[in-house]
Structure 1
Amino acid sequence: MKEIKLAHPSHFRTVMTTQEAERLLAAGWRLWTDTQAVNANALKQRRVRRKRKEAGQKRVTAYLSADTFAALMALKQPGETNAELFARMVKILHLL
């Protein structure tokens, strides 16, 4: 089987001079080329995330127990997004 070497793009570095690039290539570094094109859906998601960041929105990720998740979903109104549900719950808590 042919050996396949992979590296995450975050492990690569950008060099600014030809001399530095030649030195690193001579030391065994490999030239990275982006061979996999980004699909249209990924581009759309990036645009949406960038717009939300620019609007000052924050991303929240949480792991909830099944019971807590079920309780939250029971409070959800028809057509309401999770973000809208959380905003409504925070508003209610501030009124208490």
Structure 2
Amino acid sequence: MVQINLVQHHYIQFESLFRGKKLRRVRLLVWHATCWCLWLYRNSVIFKDNFFPDVQNVVYHIQRISWTWMKYKGHGSSSLSFANWCTSPLLCF
């Protein structure tokens, strides 16, 4: 049983979901995109006095950032569409 109160534990749990070198890279990319987006929203709330964002906006931002990074890093197909990435990301490989 993994306790979710520690980031390290969550990372280990998330890591065990995917096997294979390519999927591990994708997992890391999505993990980092998630952390990055949450950090940006956190800073926006704290330092810019913005309201807490809608969960759907956060998820969309994570999808957009991870898709952009994926395209830039070349982990996915060059024809990887954002719509396919949002609906079934694991089928994009």
With the shorter chain as reference, the TM-score category is: under 0.3
Q: Could you tell me the TM-score, scaled by structure 1's length?
A: 0.27
Q: Could you tell me the TM-score, scaled by structure 2's length?
A: 0.27
Larger Rg over CA atoms: 1
